[in-house]
Amino acid sequence: LPGSQVDLRPLKNIDHLMKIPQTFECVKLDKRRGNIVLSRRAIMEKIRDRDRDKIVSKMKEGDIVQGTVKNLTEWGAFIDIGGVDALLHVTDLSFSRVDKVADILSIGNSIRVKIMKIDPDTKHISVSCKALGVDPYIDIEKKFKIGEKYEGEVFKLTQYGAFIRLDEGVEGLCH
């Protein structure tokens, strides 16, 4: 039983599994060398996939659910919703520009998200925080007029100009 086949995630210590009957799948059998390779992970993946199918079948696009931040990446976060992972892409975090996901989220945070897409083949789920709010660009022409002067907050400087926030989620570049 290779270490990579003990569990779904790498385990540093397997003492808690010792002397407890387990179910394994034979993944390789070499009669000539008298060698058998077993996998507990394969069994666990099948159980996880069966459970995932049950959970996902109860969800539909447009549902608003509570989730827990499980992992952060440069391009988003993985959110545990009812036992399955969903991807919250960085562009779906906020109407405002987000440089680092970690500036907004931390592992273990509980957040509300809207289910945007469920891929029927892969069962991948995409969620959004941004979709829970009102798009700040709807009827923006009533709030801001071309040619008028407005006060804003500079929130980022670059070589080519400054990014200015006029209102929550309404940002622009001043060259």
CA angle 137/97/133 to nearest 5° reads 45
Q: Collapse the DSSP code of 77 into the 3-class scheme (helix H, G, I; strand E, B; otherwise coil) and give the result.
A: strand
pLDDT digits (tens, 9 = 90+) for 95-153: 988 889 999 999 999 999 999 999 888 879 999 999 999 999 898 999 999 999 999 99
pLDDT band at 5 (very low <50, low <70, confident <90, very high): very high
pLDDT, residue 121, reads: 83
Summarize the confidence of residues 167-171 as an average pLDDT: 89
Q: Collapse the DSSP code of 111 into the 3-class scheme (helix H, G, I; strand E, B; otherwise coil) and give the result.
A: strand
pLDDT, residue 51, reads: 78
Question: Distance between the two ends of the chain, CA-based, in angstroms?
Answer: 61
Q: What is the DSSP letter of 49?
A: H
Which residues, 6+ apart, have CB-to-CB distance to 95 below 8 Å? 130, 133, 135, 136, 137, 168, 169, 170
pLDDT, residue 48, reads: 79
pLDDT digits (tens, 9 = 90+) for 21-66: 999 999 999 999 999 999 999 999 888 778 777 888 889 999 999 9
**Is the pLDDT confidence value at 78 over 90?**
yes
Identity of the residue numbered 68: T
pLDDT, residue 30, reads: 92
pLDDT, residue 40, reads: 94
